[in-house]
Amino acid sequence: MDQNGGPTPYQPYIGTYPLNPSIIRGYKPSFPNAQNCAPPRAQSLLLNPTLDLNYWRSLSPALFGAAGALFLSFFSGNNHLIQRFEGTLFKLALVGYTIGATISVAFCITNIISDSKAHHDHLIAPIGGAFASIILLFAADYFLLYRFFPSSFKGSVGDDAWTQFFSFLYLSITSISTADLGDILPINITARALISTEIAFNLFIVTTGIQLLLAQRH
């Protein structure tokens, strides 16, 4: 009211009104540049150190087994204690350890395939490494068995140690690919058990891998 008791005339407000941007029509909040932000899916696909540790932990029985078999083959010589009673305990330990290491690698590959995302190009390196460890393990086992029990295999495997090792590496590759040419044949049950385990590993991985990859498409 003015001094005379009448109403105060209208005067425009000359100031800054506190505006709420959320009520303004067409307002869009500002965000960082989308090109500089990594998508959430790309972040989830980053390499996990725990998975790497589990991968090498699963392959370690095969790798250590191959290293131990090669060491015994090259540096132990003819051990009469092993050959005594046809080395029954030695053969059982060799086959048992090899089966355990093979199962570990098989589960490693199935876990890799089941946890993978399309596209599957990133599976070549880990699966290839697992197959290489199996091939090396069985080649070393064949070589070790032949060094202590030469009658376990029939065929030309060579005269010196290195030639024999590469002959059994060839046998391991042909066995895991189920393309054995028959030039090196197992004679006793231990050699046959080892070759059967390697072939079974390949068949298991192929059938299981195909089923897992087909399941991911649905």
pLDDT digits 0-9 by tens, 178-195:
877 778 999 999 999 999
- Of these ranges, 28-42, 70-84, 144-158, 204-218, the one predicted with the greatest mean pLDDT is 144-158
Structure-block tokens of residue 137: 């393990």
pLDDT band at 123 (very low <50, low <70, confident <90, very high): confident
Residue 145 carries which side chain, given as an amino acid letter?
L
pLDDT at 97: 97
Number of C-alpha atoms within 13 angstroms, CB side, residue 53? Answer: 3
Residue 47 carries which side chain, given as an amino acid letter?
L
Q: Are 134 and 62 in contact (CB under 8 A)?
A: yes
**Distance of alpha carbon 170 from alpha carbon 211, whole angstroms:** 29
Tokens 């060491």 identify what position? 71
Structure-block tokens of residue 89: 């305990």
Crossing angle of helices 161-176/49-75, nearest 10°? Answer: 140
Tens digit of each residue's pLDDT (9 = 90 or more) over 195-210: 999 999 999 988 887 7
Phi/psi of residue 105, nearest 5 degrees:
-70, -35
